[in-house]
Amino acid sequence: MEYERHFFRRSNLLLIAYAVCLAFFVCVLYDAQIVHGADYLSESATQVTTTQKVKTFRGSITDRNGKVLVSNRQIYTVTFDPKLVEDDPAIVPGENSTVHSESVAQAMLRLLRLLQEQGIAWEDGLPVSLNAPYSYTFPEATGTQRVRFQNFLRDRDWSLTEITADTKLPLMSGKLLKEFELSASSALSADQLMELMRKDFGIPESFTEQEARLTLGVLYELRLRTLERNAATVPYLLAEDVEVELISLLNDGRFSGAVVDSKAVRQYHTDYAAHILGRIGSIPDREAQAALNEPYNTAKEAGEDLSGYHYYQLNEQVGKDGVELAFESWLRGREGTRAITTDQNGKITSELYTIDPQPGGTVALTIDIDFQAKVEAALANGVEAARAGARNDEERERMKTIGGAAAVVSVKDSEILSLATYPSYSQRTYQEDYGTLSQDPAAPYTNRAVNGAYTPGSTFKPMTAAAALESGIIDPKTKINATGHWTYPGDPNSYANCWLYNSSGGRHGKINVSEALTVSCNYFFAEMGYQLGMERLNEYAAAFGLGEHTGIEISERTGARHENTPGEDQSPWAGFGQAQQVYTPLQLANYIATLLRGGQRLDAHLLRDVTSYDGGAVLYTHQPEILADLSLSEETLTAVKKGMGDLVTTGSLAGEFKNCTVTAGAKTGSAQVGDVVPDGVFVCFAPFEDPEIAVAVVIEQGRSGAALAPIAVQILNDYFTPGDTGYTVVPEGTLLP
């Protein structure tokens, strides 16, 4: 009986507790749904969460010593958004317009007049003259502008004509022929086009022809951004890097549709190394976008984690060339993602970063910018001296097109210490200078150090000497009787003359390989080339990196080794650096570095390391890659070095090198190309006993390699003895002390 009483007591307590909980929940539900139901419903209906991309900063570029070469700065931009234009109630639309279209045109004209007053220019890619009577300007337009105009005409169904620089007038489409009540094919004049565009864009009838053309140029650019095939051009910046005073004027409320924003742009802290640094720009088209996104798409198809990949949008800024392109993946950073919640009044109620933005890494290059500046100066002096040495009007005119290049690499690990090209340009003033420099016949935008390919001349002889010694054709003591006139066995009409024989009928007599290098005997190396044969000569040249990619991260030419056609043998001429073989200055410098390492070829490279934007972590450090290894004997290396060392101590370059602050070895080259003045080619290394750097210098139509010796001496002095060591270019033909 006692047990039953306890049972009922516990049951009653549980029922009471259950009833209390139920009552509590009923009260909560009543409050939420009845008392505050309308408020919560309104709040839930109007609260909106949107996701925004958060831009990040591109990484900086420094030299090997941490000097900043490229960074970022914030600028103000002005764009125009027709959707933001408030309609003017006073406007009575014309027959072919609406209140909004006329309001947009009026707002646009006000903005353009302000920009004109402030002296600010904007892009107008419409290939039509600025004043009536109108005419097409296809020859002056860029290729991109012509293609975009062609797409515009096709989108409006006004013309299907392919627009080129030679196009006179586009032909009307069938639609226009009917509109103009024409039965036969007819051209679309520029005046007719302007009338069509005035109607299409709703330009007010009150606008003068000049005002209409001014406004239509920008509205045309905005329309292009809506075309699917031209979507790569989004967005359109009307003005950028504007002053604060202009922003104040825009914010006074009279410039409806104008949008002021900010963005980061690249800031260059040096006028040097322009070809190395490169630049950034918009992705030009969908093909380029697809190429950039290939790694992302491949990883996606493979089901890989995509967090380490970046998907490029069409309006993104990317590296276009130089290290900006080569190290794009390190420099670009990672955009963040932010979730923003707003209430019914548009007030932000919460902000949450779902992905934090991550600035790009700091890329440290192998070059020393101070040394780079000195190399560029020495090269510029050398090229200008060559131009000044022109002997007649014809040469003077031709010399306007010449240039030169120099490359300096580390013997230890093939780090690129300098890559110089002349003429050059400055990334700081690229936009301002482009119109002039793009027309310069000397092609200052060409990176001659890695994209200029030159016949090596006698600078090829150390390679031939090493190949002959390693192949057992000769040893360091073997002497050959160099008579000056070498003839191909069995074919006396096929011959090669030594420079000494050509100049005075002289001969070098019995000489060994070191002596042959010192006196640059063509006879000796024609014989070596013949005995090696073209195939074996090319095998050694390839192992030394001639005609091969050097490993540099920026775009380069590979040059070309000579390949015999059936029935010919050019190996004797190739043996002393002629025949159809061309190499870049960087290849020549790296080949000398490879020789000095005993035949171990490493990748020439510009990237030293990458650190996080705050310097807190090292993300990457370059490790040299062995591309080939000939394992040259010490005997071979000693013999070749001796020939190059004697050239600057007791040989013909002793006078030029007496002012060199360090011991060195060198080899000159003169490359005859057609009937013009020969190119000058020069390679050297220093110090002689324990080489640290290898240098190659080329000057187009520089007459001879010996004329380049002062440039090389200046480069060596600048590297080993920083400071003002003086520089004097010795003109061709001057007697040396």
Report all structural domains of the chain as residue ranges with CATH numbers, in order of start.
50-71+264-365 (3.90.1310.10), 75-250 (no CATH), 369-720 (3.40.710.10)
What is the spatial distance between Cα 196 and Cα 207, in angstroms, rounded to a whole number?
15
pLDDT in tens, 300-316: 999 998 877 888 887 68
Mention every residue, 6+ apart, whose C-beta is less than 8 A from residue 11: none
Q: So what's the pLDDT on residue 44?
A: 53
CA 490-500-498 angle, 5° bins: 30
Q: Is-cis flag, bond preceding 687, omega within 30?
A: yes
The DSSP output letter for 707 is: G
Long-range pairs for 142-148 at CB < 8 Å and ≥24 separation? Answer: 144/284, 148/224, 148/230, 148/233
Question: Which whole number is the average pLDDT over 57-80?
Answer: 92
**CA distance linking residue 200 with residue 222, whole number of Å:** 13
With beta carbons less than 8 A apart as the criterion, state whether 659 and 366 touch. Answer: no
pLDDT in tens, 75-96: 888 888 888 787 776 666 666 6
Rounded CA separation 696/587 (Å) = 9
**Which residues have CB under 8 Å from 50's CB, separation 6+?**
339, 340, 342
Closest CA to 388 of 695, 702, 686, 138: 702
pLDDT for position 732: 34
Q: For 656-697, write each residue's pLDDT tens digit.
A: 999 999 999 999 999 877 667 889 999 999 999 999 999 999
Instruction: Say which amino acid occupies 296.
Output: Y
Percent of the chain predicted with pLDDT > 70 = 86
Q: What is the dihedral of CA 562, 567, 572, 576, to 10 degrees?
A: -20
What would the two tokens of residue 392 be? Answer: 């007649």
**326 near 23, Cβ under 8 Å?**
no
Whole-number pLDDT of residue 124: 87
Would you say residue 718 has pLDDT above 90?
yes
Half-sphere exposure of 220 (CA within 13 A, CB side): 26
State the DSSP code for 698.
E
pLDDT at 735: 33
What is each CA distance from 546 to 33, 384, 549, 732, in whole angstroms? 83, 29, 8, 29
In the chain, the percentage of residues whose pLDDT exceeds 90 is: 60
Nearest to 499 by CA among 488, 487, 507: 507
> Does the structure show a pLDDT above 60 at 115?
yes
For residue 618, which phi and psi values (nearest 5 degrees)? -90, 115
Q: How many other CB atoms sit within 10 Å of the CB of residue 690?
A: 9
CA distance 26 to 306: 49
Per residue in 117-132, pLDDT (tens digit) is: 888 888 888 999 998 8
Dihedral Cα 707, 713, 715, 716, nearest 10 deg: 150
Report pLDDT digits (tens) over 395-449.
Answer: 899 989 999 999 999 999 999 999 999 999 999 999 889 989 999 999 999 999 9
The Cα 573–Cα 114 span in angstroms is 68
C-alpha closest to that of 172 among 190, 160, 155: 160
User: What residue has token string 């950039």?
Assistant: 292
For residue 727, what pLDDT band results from cuts at 50, 70 and 90? very low
Q: What is the pTM of this model?
A: 0.79
How high is the mean pLDDT of the chain? 87
- Reply yes or no on whether the pLDDT at 272 is more than 80: yes
User: What tokens does 523 get?
Assistant: 């006879």
Spatial contact of 559 and 582, defined as CB atoms under 8 Å apart? yes
Q: Beta strands of 90-243 (E only): which ranges?
A: 239-240
Classify residue 335 as exposed, middle or buried by CB count within 10 Å of its CB (0-12, 13-18, 19+).
Answer: middle
Cβ count within 10 A of residue 470: 16
Confidence band, pLDDT 50/70/90 cuts, at residue 29: low
3-class state of residue 522 by DSSP: helix
For residue 53, give the nearest of 359, 360, 361, 355 by alpha carbon. Answer: 355
Question: Which of 177-186, 269-278, 628-637, 641-650 has the lowest average pLDDT?
Answer: 177-186
